[in-house]
Amino acid sequence: MRKFGLIGYPLKHSFSKKYFSEKFEREGISGCHYDLFEIDHIEKFSSLIENDPELEGINVTIPYKEQVIPFLDELEPGSKAIGAVNCIQRLGDGRLMGYNTDYIGFKNSLDQWLDGQRPKALVLGTGGASKAIRQALKDLEMPYLMVSRTANDTENHITYDDLVANEKYLQEHLLIINTTPLGTFPNTEHMPAIPINQIGREHKVYDLVYNPEKTFLMRSLEARGAVVKNGLEMLRLQAEAAWDIWNK
């Protein structure tokens, strides 16, 4: 039996388990099983690996995309540059290799959605998920600013208060990318604190959240005329990239 799974905390509603279980059945892939491993501390990752030698492929979600790195033996160059891992392969000699398929999924999805356009972007959130998104924007040669609740010394970083205080940011940055978990089920009436009154038909909103399919952020900005997209396509693309890694 080939075993795969997802680590994270909490894991109440997992895209990955449903996706891979349906994939195995739909494509007639026998002898494979996908499990959820909800661990409340990253230190428990070592025990999981030791106690389950058949576990050969692991997806990683919040909050462990950065925390898992010290437990790995090697990082693929792309994930090393990004500084976050969402896919792990156990090699034949038992070593653990880290990858970032969020980057692949997001870059391909965004590129297709924009259809050649290259607007400046606001990236909401500075966590592990945002690192892959920022690398994809760099490689697509798209300028961006990071947005979070608190200020820091990073050159291309502003706060939500800055958005409210200076309308130039949303006038100049017509793509908004939410990398935070705000709005995820069951807390569906939450969203990042962006000034909705500054949103118009010229804006596009890519929300990495996929559950619900239309988040409070998407609904709110769509009501102002913005074009919106959720993270479901990105998730499908990153899942297929992970499957390719586990089978190469």
Q: Which CATH number does the domain housing residue 33 bear?
A: 3.40.50.10860
Q: Which domain holds residue 7?
A: 2-99
pLDDT digits (tens, 9 = 90+) for 63-78: 999 999 999 999 999 8
Q: What is the pTM of this model?
A: 0.89
Residues 51, 10 within the same domain: yes
pLDDT digits (tens, 9 = 90+) for 169-215: 999 999 999 999 999 888 999 999 999 999 999 999 999 999 999 99
Of 78, 99, 120, the last residue of a domain is 99
Residue from 171, 178, 180, 149 nearest 162 by CA: 149
- Say how many domains are in the chain: 2
Q: Which CATH number does the domain housing residue 121 bear?
A: 3.40.50.720
Percentage of the chain lying above the pLDDT 90 cut: 90
65 among known catalytic residues: yes
Q: How far apart are CA 205 and CA 226, in angstroms?
A: 7
Helix (H) / strand (E) element for 98: namely strand 96-99
From 18, 65, 120, 168, active-site residue: 65
243 located within any domain: no
12 located within any domain: yes
